[in-house]
Amino acid sequence: MSAHENVQNEKVLIIGAGPCGLSAALELQAVGIEPLLIEKHAVVHSIYQYPTYMNFFSTAELLEIGGIPFTTPSDKPSRREALQYYRDVALRRKLRIRAYEEAAAIRPQPDGSFLVETVDRFGGKRVYATGHVVVATGYFDHPNMLGIPGEELPKVTHFFGEAHPYTGMKVTIIGGNNSAVDAAMELLRVGAEITVVYRGENYSPSIKPWVRPLFEGNVNKGSIRMLFSSQVVRIDPDSVTIQPLADGAAPYRIDNDFVLALTGFRPERTLLTDAGATVNPETTVPSFDPETMETDVPGLFIAGVIAAGREANEIFIESGRHHGKLIAQRIVALTGRE
């Protein structure tokens, strides 16, 4: 460690201040450990990225962390309510959070400790020495790219915020799961001309059962154009090119103003693999003990969505919020704290 100047010592460092990172911090706080959280955006950035008017599938009770009540008059809390809840929890419990600072590397040391290197938004670098690291990073920063010409155009986005900017526009939605269906239903309300392009042969079984009949009804009425067994193969400033997946079918172009490429996201595993942790290349699931959330690198833990495979979504808060208690118990056992 002598090679690094101004090394800050921490007992536990948590990378990621999403719901599961916050939950881990609260559980550690409960056993007398004040961890430091490193967050490259703002607190619960993943929820901030949700559509503006989104409501959760889960009840408020299932999103609570640290035993702190999440009160709402609604059956399903809204994005805005969740932002306020998690923000208030972080502030009231005085969690130590370094926002807008990104973890660049986790380096295991010969004595079993770690050096964590970070960089802030201005390029400033810091090094932390710590006995334990919890990786609680989400996946909204890493959309599944299409890999087609034109994907880099400013008319293309992998995030849907709200419908208003698309008023009266020709919008192509790529994808057929809940995010695509929800976006299409909101775009209807602002008079957008909607085309949904989906590789599947029929509606996705994952579509919320209370939404699917409404969506299908609008497709049947012609309010939404649904193209099954199709994919977008090129995006141009005023059009997209669609390739039907049927044998011998020719590609064709349709007029287009905006593209919502709602094809999902993937968790980033590089921090873990570079630190020596094993990640299954097929499932993308890290190797870890489900009783403690410890990876195969002693002292390196995971919490939240990063413990899931490719199918993770916001429902994972329900289970990921419990990871912190397992981690706290393990760290207490390792350090001999009462």
For the residues 99-114, what does the mean pLDDT come to?
97
pLDDT above 50: residue 281: yes
Tokens, residue 303: 């919490």
Instruction: Label residues 77-95 b or e (16+ Cβ within 10 Å = b).
Output: bbbebbbebbbebbeeeeb
pLDDT above 60: residue 310: no
Range of weakest confidence among 69-78, 181-190, 211-220, 315-324: 315-324
Q: What is the pLDDT of residues 20-33, one digit of tens each?
A: 999 999 999 999 99
CB atoms within 10 A of CB 162: 14
pLDDT above 70: residue 309: no
Q: What local confidence, expressed as pLDDT, does residue 312 receive?
A: 56
Q: What is the pLDDT of residues 234-261, one digit of tens each?
A: 999 999 999 999 888 999 999 999 999 9
pTM flag (> 0.75):
yes
pLDDT, greater one: 136 or 58: 136
For the residues 290-315, what does the mean pLDDT come to?
83
- What confidence category does residue 314 fall into, taking pLDDT thresholds of 50, 70 and 90? very low
Domains of the chain: 7-141+265-335 (3.50.50.60), 156-261 (3.50.50.60)
74: three-class secondary structure by DSSP: coil
Q: What local confidence, expressed as pLDDT, does residue 311 receive?
A: 55
Instruction: Label residues 266-285 b or e (16+ Cβ within 10 Å = b).
Output: ebbbebbeebebebeeeebb
